[in-house]
């Protein structure tokens, strides 16, 4: 069963303001924790390189014209990449630009 379905509601009674406020506080804590984890990943050249490789595996930098079934497969992969891109861009858009610059420099070094 997916993690989302297993999560219990933080509020049992929506009319209870204390429960609602406590749930909102817990949600903000979880969001900060997730943001901090992502920042740890992209705070190093190595971490950004791995994320860039994953974006490449998700075919973020390709277009595909072909059979419908394969198009759907490729677009599914790209959707994962778009979600990853949006997550990182939401944390700090500069990270995307940094990854682009680093990937460009690495490509030039190996050319």
pLDDT of residue 61: 87
pLDDT class of 65 with cuts at 50, 70, 90:
confident
Q: How many CB atoms lie within 10 A of CB 78?
A: 19
pLDDT of residue 66: 76
Q: d(Cα 23, Cα 14) in Å, to the nearest integer?
A: 10
* Range of weakest confidence among 16-20, 36-40, 47-51, 82-86: 16-20
Owner of token pair 């379905």: 5
pLDDT of residue 40: 95
Q: How many CB atoms lie within 10 A of CB 4?
A: 6
- Count CA within 13 A, CB hemisphere, residue 25: 6
pLDDT tens-digit series, residues 45-61:
999 999 999 999 999 88
pLDDT of residue 7: 63
Owner of token pair 């509601």: 9
Structure tokens that stand for 76 in this block:
């599914």
């Amino acid at each position: 069963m997916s993690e989302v379905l297993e999560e219990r509601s933080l509020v049992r009674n929506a009319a209870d303001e204390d429960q609602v406020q406590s749930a909102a506080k817990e949600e903000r804590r979880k969001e900060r924790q997730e943001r901090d984890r992502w920042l740890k990943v992209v705070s190093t050249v190595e971490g950004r390189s791995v994320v860039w490789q994953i974006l490449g595996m998700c075919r973020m930098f390709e277009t595909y014209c072909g059979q419908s079934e394969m198009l759907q497969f490729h677009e599914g992969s790209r959707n994962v990449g778009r979600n990853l891109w949006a997550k990182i861009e939401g944390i700090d858009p500069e990270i995307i630009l940094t990854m682009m610059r680093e990937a460009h420099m690495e490509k030039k070094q190996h050319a």
